[in-house]
Amino acid sequence: MIDFEELVSIAYKRERALSRRLAKGASISAHEALVRTLEKAAGGQPLGELVHARRLAKAQAHEASKARENRPPRVLRKSHEHPPGAWLAWFDGSAMPNPGRIGIGALLKSPHGDVTEISAAAGHGDSSKAEYLALISVLEAALHRRADKLVIYGDSRVVIDDVRSHAGALALAHHAQEARRLIEALGDVHLHWIPRHRNASADALSRQAFLPDAV
């Protein structure tokens, strides 16, 4: 059985709270309660795989944070500096709570200025899954519109680095594979990380999916 301390280290705050209530209500140990809570969060996935995936995600987030701290200030590109004739896209995903309901948002802008907006509920999962589904949705839209040169922006460094490196969390591997398949089908695709405040439109579309009247 996986050590209690390791389970605590990868559990989300909400999961720890749920496990404490379960332990008290069912008169079971804190360890067993947390195992049950995380097994439920994992769905059909083995608990060991969930622990491994979250450990990797935390390590990636830590490395990304260190890289941001050590990176020298950069000059942000202006819109007119995009490659001539390129399609532009922005994506974002939200989970409420995390994990919980997923909302995805994305924008696809043609070289002529036509904008396609995507805002949809996408089941349940955590924020990384939400980000991946948002990326996949805008890639599918770009493929449908036959975008021959595409620049994509997102604020999820974990997802962007994962797609680039081919070495991400096992739990997200099938989403990464689908994103790479679409990128290969499109051909000329460039992924760029941007700060959250520069991704406000995609973020708003992802949260719009949680509104009662959202389709």
CB 200 within 8 A of CB 79: no
Residues 15-39, mean pLDDT to the nearest whole number: 92
**Residue 78 covered by a domain:** no
Residue 68 has, within 13 A of its CA and on its CB side, a CA count of: 12
Mean local confidence (pLDDT), 48-55:
85
Compute the residue count for the chain.
215
Same domain, 151 and 184: yes
Q: Do both 91 and 123 map to the same domain?
A: yes
Query: Residue 186's domain is classified under what CATH number?
Result: 3.30.420.10
Return the ∠ at Cα 103 (arms to 8 and 175), rounded to 5°: 70
pTM above 0.75, yes or no: no
Range of the domain at 66: 4-70
- Do 149 and 190 sit in the same domain of this protein? yes
Q: pLDDT tens digit string along 60-112?
A: 776 766 665 665 544 434 444 577 889 999 999 999 998 899 999 999 999 99
